[in-house]
Amino acid sequence: MKKILLVIRREYSTRVRKKSFWILTILLPILIAIVYATPVYLAQKPITTATVLVVDETEIFTHAFQSNKEVAYKRAGSLDYAKRQLEMDSANLIVFIPSRETTIPNDAFLYYRTDVPGSNVQSDIKQQLNTILHNVILEDVLNISPDDYESLTHTTIALHPKDIETGRDGFLEVKMILGIILAVIIYVAIFMFGGQVMQGVSEEKHSRIVEVMLCSLKPFQLMMGKVVGIGLVGLTQFALWVALSGAGLFAIKAANPTLFEQAEQRQNVTQIATKGTDMTTQLETAKMANDAIPNSQAFVLTQGLVAINFKLIIPLFLIYFLFGYLLYASLFAACGSLVDQGSDGQQFTLPVTIPLLLSLMLIPAMINEPGGTVATWLSIIPFTSPIAMMFRLPFGVSILEVAVSIALLILTFILCTWMAANIYKRGVLLFGKQISYRDIFRWFKRG
């Protein structure tokens, strides 16, 4: 036992003291933050306004265009005049709506010269054209006031999936996102740290230190020491990431406190809206509510996260990470012991990585049916359960299923570690020989 602890300590301390460990630990959250912050930052940047000349031969659109930050609409009398303006660079684009024999025009043209219109400008023009056209039809043909119509479109009925037993909201989308994130974290962690185990073992074999080590301790002690030591490195990295993201979230909250207040605000407005008896006032307040809260997605997210049973998910995440990692890491260790020069390990790693890849690839199938046959079986079968169960957990899984899945996982972990240790103790001392599956099979036949 003392020797295993020594091995664990060495594996842990040499890795944690490496520069690359800290670079990854600090850089990864920063990179993720940059990826998310860049679009937000760019959206806040002042934009150059495009000047668009509207040449409307139908006389329907001319006055109804509304200029905004991105596009300034100006009226032009004729296409020729507009073209001259474009050539003189006093305008960027021309929207030309030719007259037609039909009352409702089907086509409009956007002329450009040097400034190719971006998708934002294009979609603004398209949207304005359509809104104006719809309003004209509503007013002139259908006799509905456009204001009434707008409040109508803002009046939506929300579908709330509710658990019949608890009566609580389902927040299925939030759960799905959380499930995918958890599953991917487990997948990445097993691959990353399992890979480190394999690399460590093959390095020990390659540098021949293994023979020096094995005259002091048992192969199993050396293998498990490495597996556990690297696992602890993984947990340390997780803990640091959680701490760093926590600090980051706190900083965002301090910088932008309105983000969370808006969520509360919306709740109040909705309550007022539903209390109103008059249909018209209700419509108006509903519209108000929607205008006031542009950030309703963030609201659903925070509400959804509150609804999820983290007290159960976090310990289960740790259990599945731990045993999933241990199961795969010992198999990776066995693979590492069979590789002599680093490059020819493919044939051994492939069977180990296939179940991992498979469970990741089947997530779309599980999204369709979180409680379906595929998801259920994948979350029971030990090799795929760490990933599949993590995906399913936010939706709620029966205790019995979780218990069976964990029991099977632990049982398989013990069996695989025993197998891996048997392969490891022979493989690690075999030098200069290509090991085949037949050799491994023979080792087991002889016991």
**Chain positions contacting other proteins, by CB under 8 A:** 3, 6-7, 10, 14, 204, 207-218, 429, 431, 439, 442
Q: Which helix (H) or strand (E) holds 373?
A: helix 373-380
CB of 398 to other proteins, least distance (A): 46
In the bound state with other proteins, the residue whose beta carbon lies nearer, of 13 and 130, is 13
4-34 burial by CB neighbour count: b if 16+ within 10 A, else e? Answer: beebbeebbeebeeeeebeeebeeebeeeee
| Through-space distance between the first and last CA atoms of the chain, rounded to whole angstroms | 25
Handedness of CA 399, 400, 403, 408 (dihedral sign): negative
Best CA proximity match to 331, nearest among 233, 440, 421, 211? 421
Whichever of 198 and 389 has its CB closer to other proteins, that residue is 198
Q: Least CB distance from residue 29 to other proteins, whole Å?
A: 27
Largest Cα span, the chain: 97
Kindly tell me which of 173 and 203 has the beta carbon lying closer to other proteins.
203
Tell me if 211 sits within 8 A of 409, measured CB to CB. no
Which CB atom, from 215 or from 255, has the smaller least distance to other proteins? 215
Q: Which is nearer to other proteins, 71 or 213 (CB)?
A: 213
CB of 337 to other proteins, least distance (A): 14
CB of 439 to other proteins, least distance (A): 8
| Partners of 73 in the β-ladder | 52
Q: Which is nearer to other proteins, 4 or 176 (CB)?
A: 4
Q: How far is the CB of 203 from other proteins (least distance, A)?
A: 8
Shortest Å, Cβ 196 to other proteins: 14
Instruction: Compute the Cα dihedral for 208, 213, 215, 217 and give only its sign.
Output: negative
CA 100 to the chain's CA centroid = 49
CB of 215 to other proteins, least distance (A): 4
How many helices and strands (H and E) does the chain possess?
18, 4
- With respect to other proteins, which residue has the nearer C-beta, 84 or 442? 442
DSSP class of 331: H
The total number of residues shown for the chain amounts to 447
Residue with the two structure tokens 């007013």:
139
